[in-house]
Amino acid sequence: MSETALSRKQTLFYLVFLILMWGINWPLSKYALEFTPPLLFAGLRTLIGGALLLIIALPRWKQLRLRETWLYYVLSAFLSIVFYYGFQTVGLQYMPAGLFSAIVFLQPVLLGLFAWMWLGEGMYTRKMVGLLLGFGGVAVMSIGGLEGGISIFGVLLALGSALSWALGTVYIKRQAAKVDSLWMTAMQIVIGGIVMTVYGSTVESWSEVRWTAAFLYDTLFISVFIIALGWLAYFKLIGSGEASKVGSYTFLIPVVSIVCSILFLNEHLTMDLIVGMALIVTSILLVNVRHKQV
């Protein structure tokens, strides 16, 4: 899966696509939960996205090498998909989406630390300050969410989502040379989708799903653009550059999420949002400006 370096234009395209798609994921997912139990929804959307990726990957079936690589797929599926989406989808029921996403976006800070510890990426004061500023920016933007009440269970689920996402990213980066990138992405999503659907079917009821047109359109959009193409773009970026630098740009995802809420859900532009966005931009600059060795 060793990736060739992306050009600046390619990197920018993947980043913009990823930030936009994963940004609108939060309000779209919150909306879908009005029609479906959370675990069945998490399983359904990942199964559809994974099936699409399998079709795309089929011409490269020789690179699957399932006997040699199955364990990598299973471990990455649990870290990046089952735990990440499972904790996230259930947790959104207990807390406002903005506040929940703020806690999940501790992930780039954790990713920066883990990439330093296990991937040998550089860590220096300016970079750590930048990562912490980014997390602070997301937190400031989500202060309004505190009015919706804080659930300890929700906080724990959000922290679990952040931790599993960071560990999954580092794990996949470490195994990059051993597996094909497309098959890794497809298999982990399919396996994750199967696990969540089977488990969801035992604790939730399919009869509770309301198969309205709005729910179907919402689910299909999330499955294709946010799950399938979103994860492809994310791992393309991770495979091409420093994980911690890619992680710093993901701080922009909740900015998109909140802006969408302002535009389409009649929420208001506040000083918290303006200050938070300024902190996030500063964070990205600090993390990504080249560090001069002394």
The predicted-structure confidence for 203-240, as pLDDT tens digits, reads as follows 999 999 999 999 999 999 999 999 999 999 988 888 88
Q: Would you say residue 39 has pLDDT above 60? A: yes
Closest by alpha carbon to 148, among 6, 241, 238, 267? 267
Strand residues in 4-116 grouped as ranges (E): none
Sign of CA dihedral 36, 201, 187, 212: negative
Question: Rg for the chain (alpha carbons), in Å?
Answer: 18
| C-alpha distance from residue 248 to each of 48, 86, 154, 181, 228 (Å) | 29, 23, 24, 22, 22
pLDDT at 4: 60
DSSP-derived 3-state class of residue 93 = coil
pTM passes above 0.75? yes
Query: What mean pLDDT do residues 163-191 have?
Result: 91
Helix/strand/coil percentages in the chain, nearest 5:
80, 0, 20
DSSP classification of residue 36: S
Q: Would you say residue 117 has pLDDT above 70? A: yes
